[in-house]
Amino acid sequence: MLCSCLGGAKGPGLFFILPCVDTIIKVDLRTATFNVPPQEVLTRDSVTVSVDAVVYSRVFNPVISVTNVKNTQYATQLLAQTSLRNILGTKSLQEILTDREAIAASMQSHLDEGTDPWGVKVERVEIKDVRLPQSMQRSMAAEAEASREARAKVIAAEGEQKASRQLKEAADVIAESPIALQLRYLQTLTQISAEKNSTIIFPIPIELLSLVKR
């Protein structure tokens, strides 16, 4: 798209200009992308993070983009940097790590509202990376490891509790039926003979154990 300072916007085709009178400015109407440099942001919970993003924008009104602002691309980049810092400053670290899509949508809306008088349409904003300080990474890793160890201990304790209940129920069944102890004894001998073929076992009769118990 070509913009003339006298004749307005000119589309495809032939047109004439007056040398030294008319000024021609080429305006690219295709979607352009630029990276927002990493911004050091202090979150709402006082954590310093470095965040960068990518912005997709295009010129929808070439006349306004030429007459209202000197450099639309540079102006949009500066506005994207300040918008990223302002929006992330109101978020906590947990929200930044988990709600990237919501933050990107809010930033897109804010940028689109600011660039509309410049004839620029912000089509999409994406949060590229969130970098934490090394000390914060080590603290979060230690916290996650401690949390995993605590859950493992709780699970092990719950398993011991369930196992003890099952053993108590099994003991009650054996106490009610003495023949159950004989069956369990034979089952144990069968398991040992199947797994330990080189082991010699001399079984003791259950009746002898009963006499010792008395």
Domain boundaries of the chain, sorted by first residue = 30-132, 146-213
**How far is residue 121's CA from residue 97's CA, in Å, rounded to a whole number?**
27
pLDDT (0 to 100) of residue 25: 78
pLDDT tens-digit series, residues 89-116: 888 888 888 888 888 888 889 898 888 8
pLDDT at 205: 64
Contacts of 60 (CB under 8 A, 6+ apart): 29, 119, 120, 121
39 falls in which pLDDT band (50, 70, 90)?
Answer: confident
Phi first, then psi, for residue 50 (nearest 5°) are -115, 120
pLDDT tens digits, 57-84: 998 888 888 888 888 889 999 999 988 8
Residue-level pLDDT at 6: 46
Pairing mode, strands 32-42 and 24-26:
unpaired
Superfamily covering domain 30-132: Band 7 domain (3.30.479.30)
Cβ atoms of 50 and 131 closer than 8 Å: yes
Residue 42 has pLDDT above 80, yes or no: yes
